[in-house]
Amino acid sequence: MIEETIISKAIIESYLNELLNSVESDVIIGGAGPSGLCAGYYLAKNGYKTLLFDRALKLGGGMPGGGMMFNKIVVQDAARKILDEFGIRYTEYGTGYYVANSLEATAALTDKAIKAGAKIFNLITIEDVIVRKDVVAGVVINWSSAEMAKLHIDPISFKSKTVIDATGHPSEIAHIVEQKSGGALLTPSGKIEGEKSMWADVAEHFTIENTKEAYPGLFVCGMAATAVFGGPRMGPIFGGMLLSGKKVAELVMAKIRTCVNLNKY
Where residue 141 falls (left for φ over 0; alpha for ψ -120 to 50; beta otherwise) is beta
256 assigned to a ligand binding site: no
Contact 24, 159 (CB under 8 A): yes
Nearest in space to 84 (alpha carbons), one of 242, 259, 209, 245: 242
Nearest in space to 63 (alpha carbons), one of 45, 85, 88: 88
222 assigned to a ligand binding site: no
175 assigned to a ligand binding site: no
Q: How far apart are CA 184 and CA 75, in angstroms?
A: 34
CA separation, residue 242 to residues 8, 34, 35, 38, 238 (Å): 37, 6, 5, 6, 7
35 assigned to a ligand binding site: yes
181 assigned to a ligand binding site: no
126 assigned to a ligand binding site: yes
205 assigned to a ligand binding site: no
Q: How far apart are CA 131 and CA 159, in angstroms?
A: 10
User: Residue positions in the annotated binding site?
Assistant: 35, 62, 126, 152-154, 169, 223, 233
User: Residue positions in the annotated binding site for glycine?
Assistant: 233
User: Residue positions in the annotated binding site for NAD(+)?
Assistant: 35, 62, 126, 152-154, 223
User: Residue positions in the annotated binding site for Fe cation?
Assistant: 154, 169
